[in-house]
Structure 1
Amino acid sequence: MTAASVALLGPQSNKLFNRSRAVFPGGTTRATVERDPTPRYILKGDGAYLVDADGQRFLDLNNNFTTLIHGHGFLPVLDSVARLLRDGTCFSNPTAHEINLAELLVDRIPAVEQIRFVNTGTEAVMFAIKAARAFTGRPGIAKIEGAYHGSYDWAEADLGGTPATWGSLDAPIAVPAYEGTPTSVANEVVVLRFNDAEGARRRIAAAADCLACILLDPMPSSVGLIPSDPDFIAAIIETARQHGILVICDEVLNLRQGYRGASARYGIEPDLITAGKIIGGGFPIGAIGGSRRVMSVFDGSAGRAKVPQSGTFSANPISMVAGRASMEALTEAAFARLEEMGNRLRTALAAAISRHQADYVISGAASLFRIHPRRTLPRDYREAYPSTDQANTLKAISRFFRNEGILLHAGTSASLSTAMADAEIDKIADVFERFLVTSPTFNP
């Protein structure tokens, strides 16, 4: 297989896309599906690799948006699901499988004393916000500018902001994410600039009487996969405690940062945590966890719960057994190995940049990394927002990697999996160095 052959979509992907356009608006069922110029359809996954509909093999750096921390076809998950299938896939009654996964998560994540399962990360954030509203009696939320928290109206306010819409540095604007959203949604969302400690204190305090919660992602992907400044975290936690506002740590993506999750890694003690992705072993899942005191709003044993959360497929046995198998395999040693691979790769990418005196910088932590076409790390969403030239450079990186048999998201955010080894790390670093050699110097 040559680089040139990988660069082109084969006839099968093109045929499938032609069929899909007749039945799906725009030809896909997810806005996140990349098309360059049309989508690449996948036939199967195998460990760290994907095979497309035309038989071409790629190293997968997306892992379904960080979900597949063990890569594709992880045998413990496949075996556990295969054993279960003949017993039934979903019931209106509970099963022991949901208790098994819940016990593992409660035992592992310090801030979680009790938990509820839903079907997606979006639902997890939505019900966490509802829980905070029910607990505090307040409607509003605060969130970090540009951070992605799923598709709940309030959680996605300001998502995809641009220089034309995001407002002043001192007063970022919460712009509804799509046309037709009630204007009242934006009025109930306070936007905080990432790593602006004093601004966070001021804006939270000014709106404290109406704020139920603060959505906090310790390393937001859409803000550049850069770490939270400890002073910024402290400002949020202290101001929230002072005013009786709950802190929700969104770890749907970043739970993969360590054995006990991102909150524990960064010393955050939230009231609620949202999880998803890796805890489902490749099947749909979401979870809301926290202290017994706050989680009591879901308790309907003595009458109608303050938040009567339900869902036809919530805690379905397939997701529960797959998630348990996946999480059991994520031992402290497994996380240490992922961390070592991530550190080695980020170091290798940075060394290549230094050797070629190129205008790039690398961010990320644990098993996550991102390539930025700029000389210094961005400090917030506004700095991470790519110019036209930067966006074109990101696409060029993604295309170069694809032509070399590696699928890298067009935003150049990527995740590693336990299915990878030294050979894959070396390949990623080598391809990036060859990109720097063959591409014109970028002038940010």
Structure 2
Amino acid sequence: MSSSNIHRNNDLTGRNLFRSAELFGRGQRVITGGNARLTIFQRPHPIYFTKGIGVHLVDVDGNTYLDFLNNFTALIHGHGCRPVLDRLHHQLEMGISFSGPTELEVEFAELLCDRVPYFDQVRFVNSGTEAVMYTIKAARALTGRLKIAKLEGAFHGGYDAIEVSLDSAPSNWGPRSVPNAIPYSAGISESLAADTVVLPFNEIGATREILERNRDKLAAVIIDILPQRAGLVPIDPTYLAFLREFTARHGIVLISDEVMSFRLSYRGGISRFGFEADLCAFAKIIGGGLPIGAVGGPSRFMLPFDSTNGKPLVPQAGTFSANPMSMAAGIATMQSLSEQSFQQFEHLGEYARASLNEIFRQNRLPYSVTGMGSMFRIHLRAEAPKGYREAHAAAEQQRKMDMFVRALQDRDVIVSPTCQLCLSTPMSIDHVEEMVTGVREAAQMVEAA
């Protein structure tokens, strides 16, 4: 549906959000913090949405927005994708969930294994956090070791073992070549943090020294080839090649967290670089908008989950794991994603990044953009970051970012609180140009302020 077919609120000086404010007030009385997701909280209150139509969102006050967040990259077909809705409506009549498996999970597993070359088997869970958690458990079971290594600033969900060096700051992050292991939240013990080794992103020499010191204790190295919190900067192919060779040589499990980056190519993120991981954790786009997660890999690395010969090394259950609604939505979503879909994402993503860089240059705005494929992120700095430390926002810059995100909302564009954006298949050049115009106006307003 084009913008011209939807009534838009063009009041750029502040819009009617009275109903959202009212709902937040009600929520504060019964939901700790007022709403149930930290990532969508904003001051003075978040926007409450009522429906999605293609590339647009409509809030409870009737305002319409271009959705360049797509539920944090999960909705690769945008809102109301007809094949997904049809499959869900059919399954709704058949049954929502059962205390037993369905043919759908076999069909979906076959689809994913056919698509990704190194997948022999998959295992379904309910979120990306769960998927990462089980890859780490499997790696520990396979190796008999406890330590894991991760990239500085990379986010891998809400599992204690990888909530380390997620939000460290200049006051505690230590030397760049030997980052400190800083717990993200209260309740993470020092001993647990000590089992997580932090690696400097894209720095082979320093990473080699850290891995050599810990190689006999490491169960896994977990990577994200396009870590959002580390700036949405792509992994260097030579760095990835080094990690693949080192882990294979020393019997360390290489885990690719593709909860977001699975949308980077038809066969997933790491496959785009011509490599294979030992285990892959993925989620978001494969659920068609419903809760889902999955672990995939060669059969020898999936063996810890096998229960056919008794209790598995890593028991994995979950009341809603492989539930038929998520399976149905996932099948329809992935069947509707062709190799051509990803070629279109490449062209449109490159156009968006180039257009943003051009308006920053033309208007002398100290901004930059990073990303790959269908994902990109705007930074309030003239030089694009090279990793987490450059992308880290100090308190003053964060206030400016909050103002920028709010200004974009006033111009009908929804992005993440860190100004990450992503494309969906219904998007066109017209939608990108509308977003770019909003970014220019918002940036000029913020800089004037």
Task: Work out the percentage of aligned pairs sharing the same amino acid.
Answer: 42
In structure 1, what is the Cα distance between the partners aligned to 2:445 and 2:422? Answer: 25
In structure 2, what is the Cα distance between the partners aligned to 1:365 and 1:228? Answer: 11
| Equivalent position of 1:206 in the other structure | 213
- For the residue of structure 2 that corresponds to 1:394, the secondary structure is helix
| Equivalent position of 1:69 in the other structure | 76
CA contact (8 A) 2:279 2:297 kept: yes
Give TM-score, length-normalised by structure 2: 0.95
The equivalent position to 1:339 in structure 2, one of 326, 341, 346, is 346
In structure 2, what is the Cα distance between the partners aligned to 1:263 and 1:83? Answer: 34
After superposition, where does 1:393-432 map in structure 2 within 5 Å? 393-432=400-439
Stretch moving more, 355-364 or 2-11: 2-11
| Equivalent position of 1:106 in the other structure | 113
In structure 2, what is the Cα distance between the partners aligned to 1:43 and 1:441? Answer: 33
Q: Deviations over 1:251-310 (max 9, x none)?
A: 000000111111111222210011100000000000000011111111110111111111
| Equivalent position of 2:247 in the other structure | 240
Uncovered stretches (5+) of structure 1, i.e. residues with no partner: none
- For the residue of structure 2 that corresponds to 1:289, the secondary structure is strand
| Equivalent position of 1:49 in the other structure | 56
Q: Deviations over 1:293-338 (max 9, x none)?
A: 1111111101111111111100000000100000100111111112
| Equivalent position of 1:291 in the other structure | 298
**Distance of aligned partners of 1:418 and 1:7 in 2 relative to their CA distance in 1, 3 Å threshold:** farther
The equivalent position to 1:163 in structure 2, one of 166, 170, 179, is 170
CA contact (8 A) 1:6 1:56 kept: no
User: How many residues are treated as equivalent by the alignment?
Assistant: 442
Is 2:17 the counterpart of 1:10?
A: yes
Is 2:275 the counterpart of 1:268?
A: yes
| Equivalent position of 1:29 in the other structure | 36
| Equivalent position of 1:221 in the other structure | 228
In structure 2, what is the Cα distance between the partners aligned to 1:331 and 1:112? Answer: 18
In structure 1, what is the Cα distance between the partners aligned to 2:298 and 2:112? Answer: 13
**Distance of aligned partners of 1:24 and 1:436 in 2 relative to their CA distance in 1, 3 Å threshold:** closer
In structure 1, what is the Cα distance between the partners aligned to 2:245 and 2:129? Answer: 27
CA contact (8 A) 2:166 2:184 kept: yes
After superposition, where does 1:429-440 map in structure 2 within 5 Å? 429-440=436-447
In structure 2, what is the Cα distance between the partners aligned to 1:374 and 1:198? Answer: 27
In structure 2, what is the Cα distance between the partners aligned to 1:4 and 1:433? Answer: 17
CA contact (8 A) 1:47 1:419 kept: yes
In structure 2, what is the Cα distance between the partners aligned to 1:302 and 1:6? Answer: 65
Stretch moving more, 328-337 or 275-284: 328-337
In structure 2, what is the Cα distance between the partners aligned to 1:437 and 1:38? Answer: 24
User: How far did 1:375 drift?
Assistant: 2.0
Aligned partner of 1:38: which letter? Answer: H
CA contact (8 A) 2:345 2:374 kept: yes
Q: Deviations over 1:366-420 (max 9, x none)?
A: 1111111112221221111023343233223212211111112221111111121
The equivalent position to 1:368 in structure 2, one of 375, 382, 385, is 375
| Equivalent position of 2:134 in the other structure | 127
- For the residue of structure 1 that corresponds to 2:202, the secondary structure is coil
Stretch moving more, 88-97 or 113-122: 88-97
Q: Deviations over 1:133-186 (max 9, x none)?
A: 011111110000010000110011121111122122232111222112222111
**Distance of aligned partners of 1:436 and 1:52 in 2 relative to their CA distance in 1, 3 Å threshold:** closer
Stretch moving more, 161-170 or 108-117: 161-170
**Distance of aligned partners of 1:307 and 1:9 in 2 relative to their CA distance in 1, 3 Å threshold:** farther
CA contact (8 A) 2:404 2:443 kept: no
In structure 1, what is the Cα distance between the partners aligned to 2:258 and 2:318? Answer: 21
CA contact (8 A) 1:7 1:399 kept: no
User: How far did 1:111 drift?
Assistant: 2.2
In structure 2, what is the Cα distance between the partners aligned to 1:298 and 1:218? Answer: 26
In structure 2, what is the Cα distance between the partners aligned to 1:248 and 1:141? Answer: 10
In structure 2, what is the Cα distance between the partners aligned to 1:387 and 1:209? Answer: 37
Is 2:158 the counterpart of 1:151?
A: yes
In structure 2, what is the Cα distance between the partners aligned to 1:357 and 1:267? Answer: 38
